[in-house]
């Protein structure tokens, strides 16, 4: 929803502006993934807004996954998504 999109955007900005400057070695190992259970980001909004948000995140190298839900989060392994486990 809107909150996850806003948080993802702020997290991306923090990582690229601040963390990259203070901890460049760490910043290279961090990636951001936005998981949305619905078929698209910002479902209740107009299609042009949904497409814009998806394009914005893709251009910022945010891994956007729609139509899936997080099944579990394990500290040593990262989130478990249907059909795949993401490394932590």
Condensed to tens digits (0 to 9), the pLDDT of residues 29-49 reads 888 999 999 999 999 999 999
Cα(17)–Cα(46) distance, integer angstroms = 30
This model's pTM is above 0.85: no
Measure Cα distances from 51 to 17, 31, 54, 59, 78 in Å.
25, 21, 5, 12, 28
pLDDT band at residue 28 under the 50/70/90 scheme? confident
Q: Are 46 and 78 in contact (CB under 8 A)?
A: no
Q: Is the pLDDT of residue 87 over 60?
A: no
């Amino acid at each position: 929803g809107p909150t996850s999109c806003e948080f993802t955007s702020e997290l991306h900005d923090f990582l690229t502006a601040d963390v990259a400057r203070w901890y460049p070695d760490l910043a290279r190992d961090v990636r951001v993934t936005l998981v949305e259970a619905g078929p698209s980001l910002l479902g209740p909004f107009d299609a042009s807004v949904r497409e814009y948000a998806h394009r914005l995140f893709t251009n910022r190298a945010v891994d956007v996954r729609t139509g899936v839900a997080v099944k579990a989060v394990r500290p040593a392994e990262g989130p478990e998504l249907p059909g795949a486990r993401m490394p932590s």
